[in-house]
Amino acid sequence: MKTILVTGGTGYIGSHTVVELQSKGYEVIIADNLANSSADVVDRIEKITGIRPVFIKADLSKEQEAAAIFDTHHIDGIINFAAYKAVGESCEKPIEYYQNNLQIALNMLANMKRMGIQYFVQSSSCTVYGEPKHNPINEDCPTMPATSPYGNTKQMVEEILHFVTKSGDIKAIALRYFNPIGAHHTALIGELPNGIPNNLIPYITQTAAGLRQQLTVFGNDYPTPDGTCIRDYIHVVDLAKAHVVAMDRCFENRNKSNLEYFNIGTGNGFSVLDIIRSFEKVSGVKLNYCFGKRREGDVVQIWADTTLAEKELGWKAELSLDQMTLSAWHWQQQLQ
Ligand code: UDP
């Protein structure tokens, strides 16, 4: 039985990944500073799986706190979610974002070298592609300059991995997520945005729940069929499973190079209006929304070519858009 250190494991994607890892027989150690999550997520994970993961409250950007974990626990692989993730905030506090996100990744890698740990899965993002010239986009498409410090930290960690994995002591897989939404079907874990949400789905569910007055659709004059932006929304549980198969690939020695990249999306593009329609259908709630100005920095449309993940990881997203919006609504409803 292999033990995986999941950094940021009480966060949104991290917690769902812990559940999937445990259900496939992995032992899990969560390390999280709880800056953007809560300790009771550990109880909720235990409720779902019947297994309590080891939980360590630690600031992994601090060298000593990070090293102490490796000195006291046996670890076979790492999945690195711990990072600041708000695009807008990253423009206001770029130095904090670089310090935190890069230092965490470096501390993990330094300790892997020190302890002879081989396998690293990095939470990356489709933001590395910028505005694609064509869709669907595959992993060979060149990355574009980032439009925010947050996106830049994702690119920089991929670049760091490029050189750190050269010697072959460490093998890494970077999973480039498209737009994760939804929640576990038990509604015991889900996304907990701090304050006013930036992302579409929490804004929709909070508006439907009466916590926000109205959703503003950012732009309806884009060159898309209905004028609103298109994204590849993926159920967080499907995304979580991609991490498990990435880890399996490492332990079964199936990596084809020291650093591999995979797009993790569904391969389908949906517009903002498609999302609203799906939400209204599954929830039975009429959403109060209006059209507003375009949001600065938004790409017009992007969706994934997932051929490589299907072929190499044997992974494919299974849950539908309606399942995504319904699970997000169930999660919102139990929060109140
Ligand atoms: N969006 C919107 N209103 C909101 C939040 C988001 O219209 O209050 C749109 C946004 O312009 C984009 C899509 O929803 O087209 C997804 O945005 P989100 O912030 O969830 O993810 P992103 O793709 O920016 O990472």
Which residue segments constitute the domains of the chain, with CATH numbers given?
3-182+234-265 (3.40.50.720)
Please tell me whether residue 119 adopts helix, strand or coil conformation: strand
Atom of ligand 1 at shortest distance to CA of 127?
A: 25
Tokens of 219: 């732009």
Please tell me whether residue 30 adopts helix, strand or coil conformation: strand
Amino acid at 30: I
Tell whether pTM > 0.95.
Answer: yes
Tokens of 246: 């990435």
Catalytic residues, which ones?
A: 150
What does each of the 336 residues of the chain score in pLDDT, given as a tens digit? 999 999 999 999 999 999 999 999 999 999 999 999 999 999 999 999 999 999 999 999 999 999 999 999 999 999 999 999 988 899 999 999 999 999 999 999 999 999 999 999 999 999 999 999 999 999 999 999 888 999 999 999 999 999 999 999 999 999 999 999 999 999 999 998 888 999 999 999 999 999 999 999 999 999 999 999 999 999 999 999 999 999 999 999 999 999 999 999 999 999 999 999 999 999 999 999 999 999 988 999 999 999 999 999 999 999 999 999 999 999 999 997
Q: How far is CA 21 from the centre of its chain?
A: 15
Ligand 1 pocket, mutate which of 129, 239, 272, 302 (most atoms under 8 A from CB): 272
Q: What percent of the chain has pLDDT over 90?
A: 96
The end-to-end CA distance of the chain, in Å, is 39
| 60 close to ligand 1 (CB < 6 Angstrom) | no
Cis peptide before 202 (omega within 30 of 0): no
- Neighbour tally for 63: CB within 10 Å: 13
Residue 257 neighbours by CB under 8 Å, 6+ apart = none
Question: 72 CA distance to ligand 1 centroid (A)?
Answer: 42
